Amino acid sequence: RMGDSGDDPALVAQTLAGDRAAFGVLVERYAAQARRVARAVLGDPDDADDAAQDGFLSALVKLAQYDSRRPFGPWLMRIVANAATDRRRRRNVRRTQPLDPSLVGGGPRPDTAAVRSELGERLSAALAELPVRRRTAVVLFDVEGYSHAEIAGILGIPEGTVRSEVFHGRRRLRALLEDWKE
């Protein structure tokens, strides 16, 4: 997760005091993560971008409710996840698309790029087969690095349920990917 998130509460305070640029810093800091979380819920990249925007707007409206003693990231991601879930509910036709291979993370060295992208496609296809809550829990845990407790807060479900979703999600991914040879 973002290493420079220590000043998040200060940026929130500046935003509430009318400093628009401060909120811009927060948006920049969490935009990629918000898109990944929204995409875990929605699948479709364009829908995910819209949902991330919805989430940021909603967070701005609710900013006075943020408790600065707690980490900002999980608070924001819960709002983003909710915005994405609302958008999914409103969607008439269910289109399922594989998740972005970039979910596999980091900038690969050129020699491994081809291998990574093939693995990325397999992982994306495998993730797309998981039920939405399970997929979101796995992405939050393995890709975004949130703890089980933080994910419980983001998704509004008990921590034991999160542990179960992550466990079963990973087991399913392993089964889908097990014929993959490093």
Query: Which carries the bigger pLDDT value, residue 101 or residue 20?
Result: 20
Residue 130 has pLDDT above 70, yes or no: yes
Residue type, 103: L
Mean pLDDT for the chain overall: 82
Q: How confident is the model at residue 34 (pLDDT cuts 50, 70, 90)?
A: very high
User: Rounded to whole angstroms, how far apart are CA atoms 35 and 40?
Assistant: 8
At 103-114, the pLDDT tens digits run: 544 444 444 556
**Which pTM value belongs to this model?**
0.68
**pLDDT value, residue 37:** 94
Residue 96 has pLDDT above 70, yes or no: no
Exposure string over 134-166, b if 16+ CB within 10 A, otherwise e = bbbbbbbbbbbebebebbbbbbeeeeeebbebb
Q: Which of 1-15, 28-42, 118-132, 136-150 has the highest mean pLDDT?
A: 28-42
Burial class (CB in 10 A: 0-12, 13-18, 19+), 65: exposed
Half-sphere exposure of 24 (CA within 13 A, CB side): 4
Tell me the two tokens of residue 46. 């364009």
How does DSSP classify residue 142? Answer: I
At 46-85, the pLDDT tens digits run: 889 999 999 999 999 899 899 999 999 999 999 999 999 8
Burial class (CB in 10 A: 0-12, 13-18, 19+), 92: exposed
Percent of the chain whose pLDDT exceeds 90: 52
User: Rounded to whole angstroms, how far apart are CA atoms 131 and 108?
Assistant: 29
Q: Which of 37, 17, 21 is nearest to 140 (CA)?
A: 37
